[in-house]
Structure 1
Amino acid sequence: MKINEIEKNTLSDAIDKITEGLDEVIELYNESTEDKPLIAFSENVNEGITKAIHKYGEEFVNRKINTLVGELLEWLPLDDVDIQEVEDNSDIEQDEDI
């Protein structure tokens, strides 16, 4: 394929942009972590939540579920748990799986 100087520069710029984009995608991939749900709802609960969202709207249902779960968590003695330590240990366990 024969190209002139302008086309050559345009292709070179395009290759540079593709390479930069690929580098950014690779960086995002390398920094990514698995998104695990905090709670594994049963199929019945998932179905009920889906129905409730359809009937009452996502914002309303989210607010209600957050209120209910927040009240439930108030019953549990959690002051002695360091969330950063839990997350750090979780990262170690994930690395060991690899």
Structure 2
Amino acid sequence: MDTYTTTIAVASIVTSGITISIGVIGPALSEGRSVATALSSLAQQPDASTTITRTLFVGLAMIESLAIYCFVVSMILIFANPFWNHAIA
């Protein structure tokens, strides 16, 4: 019985780490790329700064939501794992 609990705990922690590491790399790279592109656009067209800035912040919020979803999934795996009931019962 204890081996199942340990196996589920180890699998949850490893899966959580993989989820966070992969789920944060993509949004971090895309946020950097979008900010660099926005700064380039602002340098070329300073008159459109309000539109570019507004669109940038909406895009950054959408990109950041992906990392937050990965964080939520990893926290569920660690603290509210649905497989604990199968190991305990």
> Shorter-chain-normalised TM-score: which range?
0.3 to 0.5
TM-score (norm. length: structure 1): 0.31
**Structure 1 or 2: more helix by fraction:** 2
TM-score (norm. length: structure 2): 0.34
The higher-RCO structure (CA 8 Å, 6+ apart) is 2
Q: Which structure has the bigger radius of gyration? A: 1
